[in-house]
A and B are shown apart, each in its own frame.
Chain A
């Protein structure tokens, strides 16, 4: 008797499902929560065009290695979303977008063709840490405005999204924020669920107070972090902490409800972000989405 066939028969089909379109609204809401987080970071970064120097192949190389100085959207050279009087044809758009007119080279230098006239630039809109880099560019090319978002990865490759601005309903900043998944860890699934469930670094003492276990240094802690109802409800014990063990920095979330055993989730600094606050932003985002939160 074939087990696979018997299982297939035994599992059945279940009751009717709602229309798939019903998922769009909660999906958009979840995406909007992420856009808001990314969008806030994008507004805080520079919107200036920095010095460009000519290099080979008729391209221009951006020699700025550090994040550009802060600016505001009012620093725009011109409105990056203005459609041209005559929109480009599909063939023209495809030709422009396939021409690598804006790109990172293998060493992480931003290279912009002389054909592309930069109208607006957002430096590191996805808040990636070195050696990774990110940039969003609105550029006028052959009379039309195109938007580019690039993420340079530590392995020397880069990911990009690009579009003709006239085909988009949203503004440049919103479109840039929408491309945030370019910056997500694509090496595996660890970036999606960075939590380590069995690495016990702290434990609850009284109330929402945590103490470090032996060999661990408790750097600081936050009682009742606001991570939404999916993380902890009224009456639950909840805390977050930054700790160091054997020179490695971790963030920890802890929660306990009623007589249930406490749950401790550790996240390495490399996955959790450079500060406890940024880690809490990540955790808030994950638990708002559902899907296991950090685990």
Chain B
């Protein structure tokens, strides 16, 4: 694949899907700035692996999996980020969104333990199957079922109170 073709295909994918992929990152980490960092990390890694990943037709799943795994690593190492922001787009310089704009449901999602949150996002927001969710998270299907059941129960109770 010629480099200009590679970059054109890569940019087309990024332009089309980055908004939704950043929402996935935000749903998991609860912070738009960190979501930007996660997305950037994932998309740079995608650039390097582009010929292989595109050949397999797994672009979106690949990026999503990096986002989840990078988020895992961030949680293991809260003292350091792996990549700075894009040049000219310093995330730290942006104003944070007011917390009051976030819904009670989103706040409840952020209060879930990490594994519950990840299974709820993949399984109940994005609609992945139990098998697909287990594969993306690298856990058993039983783990997905138990964590998503507990997470959904807590979120449903929030929704019930709202209604």
Residues in chain A within 8 A of chain B (CB atoms)? 1, 3-4, 6-15, 17-18, 20-28, 30-31, 34, 161, 163, 167-170, 178-179, 181-182, 184, 186, 189, 192-193, 197, 230, 233, 257-258, 260, 263, 287, 289-293, 295
Contact = CB atoms under 8 A, between A and B. Distances in A.
B112 to A, nearest CB: 12
Given A15-B94, A263-B77, A20 B14 contact: yes
Given A10-B103, A181-B49, A292-B73, A163 B2 contact: yes
Given A4-B127, A181-B51, 4 more contacts: A4-B125, A22-B89, A24-B10, A24-B47
Contacts of B50: 181
A79 to B, nearest CB: 20
Interface in B12-65: 14-15, 18-19, 22-23, 26-27, 32, 35-36, 40-45, 47-52, 56, 65
Given A27-B48, A30-B45, A295 B73 contact: yes
Contacts of A293: 73, 82
B48 A22 contact: no
B155 A3 contact: yes
Interface of B: 1-3, 7, 10-11, 14-15, 18-19, 22-23, 26-27, 32, 35-36, 40-45, 47-52, 56, 65-66, 69-70, 72-73, 76-80, 82-83, 86-89, 94, 97, 101-103, 105-106, 109, 120-121, 124-125, 127, 138, 152, 155-156, 159-160, 163
A291 B45 contact: yes
Contacts of B56: 186
Nearest to B78: A260
B2 A290 contact: no
Interface of B, helix, strand, loop or mixed by DSSP: helix
Given A11-B26, A184-B52, A257-B79, A292 B43 contact: no
Contacts of A170: 3
Nearest to B155: A3
Contacts of A18: 86, 88-89
Residue among B10, B83, B120 facing the most chain A CB atoms (10 A cut-off)? B83
A291 B70 contact: yes
A36 B123 CA distance: 40
A24 B159 contact: no
A292 B65 CA distance: 10
B152 A23 contact: no
B23 A14 contact: yes
A184 B53 CA distance: 11
B69 A193 contact: yes
13 contacts: A4-B127, A7-B106, A14-B26, A18-B86, A20-B11, A20-B18, A22-B87, A30-B44, A31-B48, A167-B2, A181-B48, A293-B73, A295-B69
B86 A8 contact: no
Contacts of B36: 17
Given A184-B49, A257-B80, A26 B105 contact: no
A23 B18 CA distance: 11
Contact of B152 (A3, A179, A192, A257): A3
